Amino acid sequence: MAVLVLKFGGTSVANPERIQQAAKKVKAEIDLGHKVVVVVSAMSGVTNQLVDYVRSITPSYDPSEYDVVVASGEQVTSGLMALALQQLDVKARSYQGWQLPFYSTDKHEKARIDEIDANVLNDCFAQGITPVVPGFQGVTRPTKEDRGRITTLGRGGSDTSAVALAAALKADRCDIYTDVNGIYTSDPRLVQKARKINRIAYEEMLELASLGSKVLQTRSVELAMNYKVPVQVLSTFDPALGSDLPGTFLVDEDIMMEKQMVTGLAHSRDEARITLTNVADKPGMLARIFGPLADANINVDMIVQAASDDGKTVDVTFTIPRSDIVKTTEALTANKADLGYNELQTSTDVVKISVVGVGMRSHAGVGQMMFKALAEKGINIQVVSTSEIKISVLIDESYTELALRTLHTVYGLDAA
């Protein structure tokens, strides 16, 4: 008998019929003798709709009220899932994030879980009750002045709720049911020849997720890696059950027998490029440029410095999250006199393409293959950044699919 956390994403609970289908999977696991906690997302599209409602009242909203609104999608599906399970004679009940509780930081919209009280769930198991928990929701700790506020864990945060619960319960497995039957070598919606991966190292998935593969929220992979949670990603639409082990498993790097040079590709359209032209080429300039950005909480990612046309000064190019473009230009414009640059250029027509693989630690020449393949397709690389197990390039957004497909073939990832 195992303890399982089963998480159903938005498409898996998109309507009452799908919730009933998902409930059947839960019931089948219980019939095998397992103790199950169910975690649900909001119905697909609902969270976007709730975000739009908030923004239609005011674009500069109070983030704590945003969370009250946006967390509600998961409340609906948790109640519906409990009802669907009851119809199958499963003793089920829902617990909202504040009831467990799922304590989090107070960084609204992107809160981090910092403590879960799993006692309630263990009590449920003891009484033969199957708890249904909404993903995505957190709550701040009550203080003398404040009774605590509802928070949300960032978009895609139900994955993190599920993995955090699995860690707290020391579950035997955390199954993430979604609309694809596993993790692929690239987003299967863009690369038709993408291949399903049976086992992927936590480190690789962490890189892929943080570089744009939205199949798992980055924080969920981080937690899975730190607490060694056995995570499986699998399809809600396949007849196979989680216990049939049909999906992709996140595993430790050292149990991977064959370390491929490149395991997968990721892309992110969430980037913007900034160039400051004719910056004085003297010590301390980069610190002066990036200081105000750090103060404004803006994450600078890729950076390159190149000689300007005049041969005396330099152009500094870097990337930031697209959503921070206004804040960034404001911070740089406010400091223009101090920085002494000539022009501030911005571009949002860019995409970051990354190749990831733990095998890069032992194989040389991965970057060269990438640069050559992109050059042969006439794709200009604007910025490059590397780490031990990844190489990322910034290119024109219109080449996204061409670049992904080209690299997929070059690294031998295409499905047969």
Instruction: Give the binding site for ligand ASP (CB under 6 A).
Output: 9-10, 41-42, 47, 73, 135-136, 155-159
- Encode the chain in three state secondary structure: CCEEEEEECHHHHCCHHHHHHHHHHHHHHHHCCCEEEEEECCCCCHHHHHHHHHHHHCCCCCHHHHHHHHCHHHHHHHHHHHHHHHHCCCCEEECCCCCCCEEECCCCCCCCEEEECCHHHHHHHHCCCEEEEECCEEECCCCCCCCCCEEECCCCCHHHHHHHHHHHHCCCEEEEEECCCCCECCCCCCCCCCCECCEEEHHHHHHHHHCCCCCCCHHHHHHHHHHCCCEEEEECCCCCCHHHCCCEEEECHHHCCCCCCCCEEEEECCEEEEEEEEECCCCCHHHHHHHHHHHCCCCCCCEEEEECCCCCCEEEEEEEEHHHHHHHHHHHHHCHHHHCCCCEEEECCEEEEEEECHHHHCCCCHHHHHHHHHHHCCCCCCEEEEECCEEEEEEEHHHHHHHHHHHHHHCCCCCC
Instruction: Decide which of ligand ASP, Mg ion, ligand ADP, none touches 356; Cβ closer than 5 to 8 Å per partner kind.
Output: none
Residues 6-35: x/- map of binding to Mg ion (CB under 5 A)? ---x--------------------------
Closer to ligand ADP by Cβ: residue 182 or 359:
182
315 binds ligand ADP (CB under 6 A): no
9 binds ligand ADP (CB under 6 A): yes
Closer to ligand ASP by Cβ: residue 66 or 411:
66
Which position among 3, 4, 6, 11 is part of the footprint of ligand ADP (CB under 6 A)?
Answer: 11
Which position among 3, 5, 6, 10 is part of the footprint of ligand ADP (CB under 6 A)?
Answer: 10
Least distance in angstroms from the C-beta of 395 to ligand ASP = 27
Closer to ligand ADP by Cβ: residue 314 or 370:
370
Closer to ligand ADP by Cβ: residue 97 or 188:
188
357 binds ligand ADP (CB under 6 A): no
223 binds ligand ADP (CB under 6 A): no
Q: Six-digit token pair at 10? A: 């938005």
156 binds ligand ADP (CB under 6 A): yes
Least distance in angstroms from the C-beta of 84 to Mg ion = 21
Least distance in angstroms from the C-beta of 215 to ligand ADP = 4
Q: Which residue has the tokens 């019931």?
A: 27
Which position among 63, 138, 156, 359 is part of the footprint of Mg ion (CB under 5 A)?
Answer: 156
Instruction: Decide which of Mg ion, ligand ASP, ligand ADP, none touches 136; Cβ closer than 5 to 8 Å per partner kind.
Output: ligand ASP
Q: By CB under 6 A, what part of segment 203-222 binds ligand ADP? A: 213-215
Cα angle value 65/71/75 (rounded, 5°): 135
Residues 241-280: x/- map of binding to ligand ADP (CB under 6 A)? -----------------------x----------------
Least distance in angstroms from the C-beta of 10 to ligand ASP = 5
**Residues within the interface to ligand ADP (CB under 6 A):** 9-11, 41, 156, 178-180, 183-184, 186-189, 213-215, 264
